[in-house]
Amino acid sequence: MRLVTFPRFRFLTILALSMLALTPEAYAVDTATRATEFKLANGMDVVVIPDHRSPVVTHMVWYRVGAADEVRGKSGIAHFLEHLMFKSTDKIPVGEFSKIVSRLGGQDNAFTGHDTTAYFQRVAKDRLGKMMEMEADRMVNLRLDEKEVLTERDVILEERRSRIDNNPSALLDEQMNAALYLNDPYGTPVIGWYHEMQKLSRQDALTFYKHYYAPNNAILIVSGDVTPDEVKTLAEASYGKIPNNPDVTTVRHRPSDPPPLAPRRLEIKDPRAGNYSLQRYYLTPSYVTAKPGEAEALDLLMKITGSGTTSRIYKKLVVESKLATSAGGDYSGSNLDSGNISLYAVAADGVPLPKVEAAIDDVLAEVAKNGVTEAELARAKRSYLADYIYESDNQATLARRYGWNLAIGRTVADVENWPAAISKVTADDIKKVAGEYLNLKASVTGYLIPDQSGVAQAQDAPPPSANSELR
Amino acid sequence: MQILSRGIATAGRAVARHNIALTLAMVTSIALLSFTRPAAAMNIQQITSPGGIQAWLVEERSVPLISMRYAFDGGSSQDPEGKPGVANFITAMMDEGAGDLTSEEYQERVEDISMRMSYDDTKDSLYGSFETLSANRDKAVELLKLSVQKPRFDDDAVQRIRQQLVANIIYSDKDPTKVAMREWYAQAFAGHPYARPSSGTAETVSKINRDDLIAYHKRIFARDNLKIVAVGDITPAELGKLIDDVFGNLPAKAELMPVAKTEPTGGSQRVIEMGVPQSVAIFGLGAMPRKDPDFMAAFIINHILGGGGFSAKLMEEVREKRGLAYSVYSYVQPDKITSILVGSVATKNASMSESLDIIRNEMKKMAENGPTEADLDAAKSYLTGSYALRFDTNSKIASQLLGLMQEGFGPDYVENRNKMIDAVTLADAKRVAARLLKSNDLIVTVVGKPDGMKSEIPAAQSRVAAPTRG
């Protein structure tokens, strides 16, 4: 059971759709605007993406707050609060939120990233108003019982064990991120450091909640069988009734990274590692921080260099030299502070990792020196365009696309003009970003080594807390 | 059973609140989760191609895409004796060169026209998935046809994929969840093809060669064991031509080895030691087959017990009340040869014994008392109300309908499905809970270092755990 998109490293294939790309001349595609946006009087942003094929809707509320906004020492509080949001309000008894949604024939969940926290339901369209009522209610009326909080804290510790502590690749990823970001809180895992998670309190959650959970810090996304007018009416009757919080600002300041001066290297030896593998991360600009066109060029660079079996890295390392059984990489640019490039390879039997690493470096050096071919560029652009069209088959995916982008300060126009921006990227642009950002000084390289002599410092089970006794 | 938020592809590391993994139930149990658009909005056409191949079609013109899902009866239970992993191997080989095109040429062409093709295997079936933009339909069909009819299985590609598969197995062998699941099957179906690991072992995969793949392809890729569903921007006449193009030249008859009916042998506990801070357990027992009159009731009982996310008893008792686990769930998986109810829980080593006691206890209570009226109503309400959620994309519709086709149902199933759920009475539910949840028959495999637990396997397991067939 691989749990989520993190750790971002997986064996065989990494299916990372980067931002949609679209080259209007490549296919005759209707690239008309998909979304309508407006604002409620209290400052809450609303985006509606109609899809009338099926009588269902996807309803999401995105808060402009995530794990990177936590106070130092309270790592994991954003995600912990996300769990606690399902507990109770004045109107909703403990644990009933999801049960009510379920009885209404709906599915619900939530997730937390470094930059955003999102809550969603998928329901028949006539239940949309009820979902908005419930979501608006818990935006301001959350009630937290001390015992519930402590029990849920045990749950997130188990979640950490599942995702991270049981899995040496995830531990390596965590260590590498901590090394990649010298100052930016992206170096702290979303789920939190175990020793800090253990101490998170009801008051920590409430403090975080009261500041950040407000309509002027939230984005409502509805996709599916609705019209903008219907959404507006329902939203004004629910979210619209909540006063804004003047203390929360949409300008988000975080500690930023200084220019990195030294490549970092680390390795984890763990008997639970099956294969010899390596990862490399580079710090890069993001769609939010990059100069115009740079992020798009990075996206295409990594599509060509690291995505799938037609990529240069795969061809070179897996097909031709046979140094690796799998290899690839991608660019992650949809972040507020910075983006990153990640590369991975699993060594073929008996091949030393430094040899695999050198082969990756050769591929990167070649791209930086001579750029990419026009054929590669055209194929990569077409591939992104296709993703765009395929994506229009799925209302939930569309809701996420817009929600994520708005949560990091991009606009509907940015999302919808993006295909055009991608189509402008030239081979020269790609060569330029490769030369500039594939810079070892801004990188971390990690080796994962199967080893019987010691276990990585995985957290042992803490003593069971009082409330976990069988009653 | 649902796939829950996995963060966002663009953003990588988001953390979802809970995740009910589909694990092995990904494709096969789709049928029993059928939902549908209102009949008026979804017209399922049963077509027969000029060459005599049957398919279901749902025309959907608003998006310029076509999704096709198809399945060959076969899967990993058709792996040759002593060589588990052949079916899984072939699923990774179908885009590694075909006709005159080498692996590299084939993959570049696929990417050039943005076609999507993948294969997957379960115990009983080999699944194909194909999607194309309408604009590239002809080129995509040509490539699909080559792959289905003339895969090359070149030696260098075979070798490359073999190494990948072995690396994956080595990785999976260290993954407590995967090991627990593999060992559960080995324990439950000892001596039967179902007991073999679907992906094979490092040893067996190392021995699989080109001839094995050619032989499997010849036996399994045929017309009499083929089911096809298409959804999207295509007319019945166009689809008829398409499927004749792609599948028309396959042999008329598949050569399937008989696979004996089987039922899990019950009542055991195995502990497999692994140095992890959190143990993972897989637990399960026999269940009603898909065509059993009690199947729908069993499906609802499982939903109440472990399948319904936060409204399920196991989630309530293990996670919500006690904080013992992030993930605990169960699902019913009706296969052709057998049906099972399987679940999973992951918890720190110190709490595994306690968590399994709670799970056994919940099963026992449900068997003895059945669900309450309120439990049953809530489950029905969710299952019927969320009907349409499974039908909001072309590819979901195609997968759902393919599942129904494989189970031998007609398109009318989607009209009747909610009625079948609503027809289950409290008396039915109580009776079926007792029939289904014989907790003494529970087969448990635990991977980790669970405190105070050891293997307990009865010397002679002669009793049959699965319910009598009705």
Q: Say yes or no: A309 and A183 in one domain.
A: no
Nearest residue in chain B measured CA to CA from A392: B63
Cα distance between residue A448 and residue B399, in whole Å:
38
Has residue A330 been placed in a domain? yes
Q: Say yes or no: A231 and A269 in one domain.
A: no
- Answer yes or no: do A272 and B63 touch at CB < 8 A: no
CA distances from B338 to B16, B79, B195, B233, B265 (A): 33, 18, 12, 37, 12
Closest Cβ opposite residue B13 in set A113, A150, A394: A113
Residues 77-116 of A with CB under 8 A from B: 79, 82-83, 86, 95, 98-99, 102-107, 109-115
Name the one residue in this structure whose structure tokens are 């294939």: A13
pLDDT at B20: 36
CA distances from B165 to A311, A324, A340, B3, B357 (A): 20, 12, 29, 25, 37
Name the one residue in this structure whose structure tokens are 């999607």: B131
Q: How close is the nearest chain B Cα to the Cα of A444, in Å?
A: 18
pLDDT 10s digits, A236-256: 999 999 999 999 987 898 999
pLDDT at B459: 54
The whole-number average pLDDT for the span A421-431 is: 96
Please report which confidence band the pLDDT of residue B265 belongs to, taking 50, 70 and 90 as the band edges.
confident
pLDDT 10s digits, A15-30: 222 223 233 334 444 4
Residue A358 in tokens: 């050198």
Are A332 and B10 in contact by the 8 Å Cβ rule? The answer is yes
* A332 touching chain B per CB within 8 A: yes
- Answer yes or no: do A166 and B277 touch at CB < 8 A: yes
- How many helices (DSSP H) and strands (DSSP E) are in chain A? 15, 13
Q: Is the pTM of this model over 0.85?
A: yes
Is the pLDDT higher at A452 or at A364? Answer: A364
* B65 touching chain A per CB within 8 A: yes
Lowest mean pLDDT segment, chosen from A23-27, A339-343, A437-441, B231-235: A23-27
pLDDT at A249: 83
Q: Is the pLDDT of residue B176 over 50?
A: yes
Chain A contact set for B177 (CB, 8 A): 1
pLDDT 10s digits, A433-463: 999 999 999 999 999 999 866 444 444 333 3
Has residue A195 been placed in a domain? yes
Residue A430 in tokens: 């790609």
Lowest mean pLDDT segment, chosen from A268-282, B31-45, B205-219: B31-45
* A445 touching chain B per CB within 8 A: no
Q: Say yes or no: A188 and A55 in one domain.
A: yes
Nearest residue in chain B measured CA to CA from A76: B15
- Answer yes or no: do A158 and B394 touch at CB < 8 A: no
The whole-number average pLDDT for the span B423-442 is: 96
Closest Cβ opposite residue B5 in set A99, A109, A161: A109
* A315 touching chain B per CB within 8 A: yes
Last residue of some domain: A241, A274, A299? A241
Is the pLDDT higher at A87 or at B15? Answer: A87
Chain A contact set for B111 (CB, 8 A): 308, 310, 379, 383
Has residue A3 been placed in a domain? no
> Looking at domain B44-248, what is its CATH homologous superfamily?
Metalloenzyme, LuxS/M16 peptidase-like (3.30.830.10)
Q: Say yes or no: A313 and A204 in one domain.
A: no
Residue B348 in tokens: 């720190």
Q: Is the pLDDT of residue B19 over 70?
A: no
Has residue A13 been placed in a domain? no
**Domain spans in chain B, listed from the N-terminal domain onward:** 44-248, 268-448
Is the pLDDT higher at B337 or at A81? Answer: A81
What is the phi/psi pair of residue A252, to 5°? Answer: -110, 115
Nearest residue in chain A measured CA to CA from B391: A54
CATH of B268-448, one of 3.30.1340.10, 3.20.20.100, 3.30.830.10, 3.40.50.300: 3.30.830.10
Q: Say yes or no: A203 and A281 in one domain.
A: no
Q: Mean pLDDT in chain B?
A: 89
Has residue A362 been placed in a domain? yes
Are A275 and A79 in contact by the 8 Å Cβ rule? The answer is no
Please report which confidence band the pLDDT of residue A286 belongs to, taking 50, 70 and 90 as the band edges.
very high
Domain encompassing residue A356: 264-453
H-helix segments, B92-196: 103-112, 137-149, 155-172, 176-188
Chain B contact set for A8 (CB, 8 A): 12-13
* B276 touching chain A per CB within 8 A: yes
Q: Using CA atoms in the order A206, A207, A211, A212, what is the torsion angle rounded to 10 degrees?
A: -60
> Count of domains in chain A?
2
The whole-number average pLDDT for the span B202-213 is: 97
Cα distance between residue B359 and residue B318, in whole Å:
8
Cα distance between residue B294 and residue B286, in whole Å:
13
Q: Say yes or no: A431 and A298 in one domain.
A: yes
- Answer yes or no: do A109 and B15 touch at CB < 8 A: no
Cα distance between residue A391 and residue A386, in whole Å:
8
Q: How close is the nearest chain B Cα to the Cα of A231, in Å?
A: 19
Please report which confidence band the pLDDT of residue B228 belongs to, taking 50, 70 and 90 as the band edges.
very high
- Answer yes or no: do B114 and A385 touch at CB < 8 A: yes
* B272 touching chain A per CB within 8 A: no
Has residue A420 been placed in a domain? yes
Chain A contact set for B135 (CB, 8 A): 27-28
Q: Is the pLDDT of residue A271 over 70?
A: yes
pLDDT at B40: 41
Last residue of some domain: A194, A210, A241? A241
Residue A248 in tokens: 């929360």
Residues of A with catalytic function: 82
State whether residue A278 is helix, strand or coil.
strand
pLDDT at B439: 86
| Residues in a beta bridge with B351 | none
- Read off the CATH number of the domain in which A167 is found: 3.30.830.10
The whole-number average pLDDT for the span B283-294 is: 94
Residue B392 in tokens: 């909001």
* B361 touching chain A per CB within 8 A: no
- Answer yes or no: do A109 and B37 touch at CB < 8 A: no
pLDDT at B41: 57
Please report which confidence band the pLDDT of residue B302 belongs to, taking 50, 70 and 90 as the band edges.
very high
- Answer yes or no: do A274 and B167 touch at CB < 8 A: yes
pLDDT at A327: 98
pLDDT at B11: 30
Give the percent of chain B with pLDDT over 70.
Answer: 89
* B102 touching chain A per CB within 8 A: no
Closest Cβ opposite residue A464 in set B107, B350, B392: B350
Cα distance between residue B366 and residue B302, in whole Å:
10
Residues 381-420 of B with CB under 8 A from A: 381-382, 384-389, 391-395
Q: Say yes or no: A429 and A345 in one domain.
A: yes
Q: Is the pLDDT of residue A9 over 60?
A: no
Q: Using CA atoms in the order B428, B433, B434, B438, what is the torsion angle rounded to 10 degrees?
A: 160
Chain B contact set for A396 (CB, 8 A): 392
pLDDT at A451: 86
Residues 152-171 of B with CB under 8 A from A: 160, 163-164, 166-168, 170-171
pLDDT 10s digits, A159-181: 999 999 999 999 999 999 999 99
Give the single-character DSSP code of B280: E
pLDDT at A32: 59
Residues 124-153 of B with CB under 8 A from A: 131, 133, 135-136
Q: How close is the nearest chain B Cα to the Cα of A111, in Å?
A: 4
Q: Say yes or no: A164 and A219 in one domain.
A: yes
